Chains A and B, each alone.
Chain A
């Protein structure tokens, strides 16, 4: 008898098959070529040339070596052996702290400002040219200015995150507030609702899905930008870790860091996914 698989079961099986295929291709691509040559080469010479063994740090890691690294790094994430050797957990914590700091500051500025812009057409038209001009600037372009004025590398990274998180939140908040249905505003007018109560009980919940979409986009961009920003400012953080391991020629660690950036990014996004669902409403 044939058993029917549900959609998610099918998708799960396909995902596993894809994973297996990737591992297989990876394994085949990283087979030690040395074995073929090694037969008629002096092993000592091979060792000197660094090609004879698979344990060389600079060679592309095999899936098995990668798995071992992942296990080893994740089993001790918070060690600290000085500036160039910290656990992955510590590096990610630095990056997360900067992202959350910059993001929070941006939210504090963007959401009230977006509220004001969305409520007033005059204000909207007055601010719009600045937003359109500043929005397309790569946040990293602000870095020299930030370093010059703030004179602190870590704070400059936070500033860069602030700048890149600002625009999507500002635009979405203004858009959400400006497009609150007239009916709801009319209801609150006929009920003589005070401006503050109207803002929190009517406009905010009405615009919340749009605002949260803006926050989600901002967080996505902030997590993209922090890696590049930390490569520039150095010292700590996952971006610095990637660059440092590249300088150490440890592709295994670079790969591991890439994987971790993906995992954390996914986790941040799914947090906003849950929040979005919570404020969503069906008309």
Chain B
């Protein structure tokens, strides 16, 4: 554990991304000074308003996009392009419609282990199709599947290559609430079994609380940053039906909602302040409960950075 604290699995340093201004002025910096670390086996969610650059960060981690400045290191090596070490689950599921479910997953498996025989590829792919509960539908085309089933295929495809890290860009954003719940439960189960390291973008506060170990909150762009990191102290295994009875549930949830509703906007005006925080504040509900029993919705006391944010 101490070893992994010194050498985190994923390390992101001073990441920034600027685009040329559409009006021809100075470049528009979407986000800058983005620093964070993810340890092996950790499930980290990122949330923030649209336009803060969450998806761009994910694409940079995936190697599909590149940063203007800054570096990403995974497992001690710099990320410089797409790699089979990082599986991506796309919001639009991105299945190839001319292939069946089995062929879609097999395509990924064959890409990972090019020397495998047809039989090996098929068996491996089928194992992950079964894992997401799609046995019996393996010969269907994506157009014959519901939105939830398509996303399950996307999950099976990403897990099937056994990546060192999984990147998910709002994977359940397009699903109805019931389907989303079922797939979240499955994802929780699979991640617990495989000890998968995950980086996930979500707009859904409850999803973040259910799935993650830590939640990174991004301020609004331009010049967005990771403003706060919330330690999700809810014990595992978590049950959707029971987590709201946990004492830390509402403090965390209220903190997240407060951030998204009000603090995410204010943070932006602070970026030029001389004492602006260069590393994000860490919010831990355990501190909160120790400091007093009555402060459920209020911002935590005794955290100087929070005062600064609220100023």
Contact = CB atoms under 8 A, between A and B. Distances in A.
Q: Do A and B come from one complex?
A: yes
Interface of A: 181, 183-184, 186-193, 197, 201-202, 205-206, 208, 279, 281-283
B92 A183 contact: yes
B67 to A, nearest CB: 17
Contacts of B112: 191
A169 B60 CA distance: 37
A233 B96 CA distance: 48
A95 to B, nearest CB: 35
Contacts of A192: 82-84, 111
Nearest to A198: B111
A189 B82 contact: yes
Given A191-B112, A192-B111, A206 B96 contact: yes
Contacts, number: 59
Contacts of B146: none
Contacts of A279: 98
Given A184-B96, A190-B87, A281-B143, 18 more contacts: A183-B90, A186-B88, A186-B90, A186-B94, A187-B90, A187-B96, A188-B111, A189-B82, A190-B86, A191-B107, A191-B108, A191-B111, A192-B111, A205-B98, A205-B99, A206-B96, A282-B97, A283-B97
B301 interface: no
Given A190-B86, A191-B161, A193-B111, A281 B92 contact: no
Contacts of A281: 97-98, 141, 143
Contact of B96 (A190, A197, A202, A282): A202
Point out which of B92, B97, B98, B107 has the most chain A C-beta atoms below 10 A from its C-beta.
Answer: B98
Interface of B: 62-64, 82-84, 86-88, 90, 92, 94, 96-99, 107-108, 111-112, 141-143, 161
Nearest to A193: B111
Contact of B94 (A187, A197, A201): A187
Contacts of B90: 183, 186-187
B230 to A, nearest CB: 29
8 contacts: A186-B64, A190-B82, A190-B83, A191-B84, A191-B108, A281-B98, A282-B143, A283-B143
A183 B157 CA distance: 14
A23 B82 CA distance: 68
A205 B104 CA distance: 13
Contact of A282 (B83, B94, B141): B141
Contacts of B97: 281-283
A64 to B, nearest CB: 52
Nearest to A202: B96
B62 A190 contact: yes
A-B residue pairs, 6 tightest by C-beta:
A183-B94, A282-B143, A191-B111, A281-B98, A189-B82, A281-B97
Contacts of B108: 191
A197 to B, nearest CB: 8
B184 to A, nearest CB: 22
Nearest to B154: A187
Contacts of A181: 94
A190 B64 contact: yes
A35 to B, nearest CB: 65
A193 to B, nearest CB: 5
B305 to A, nearest CB: 36
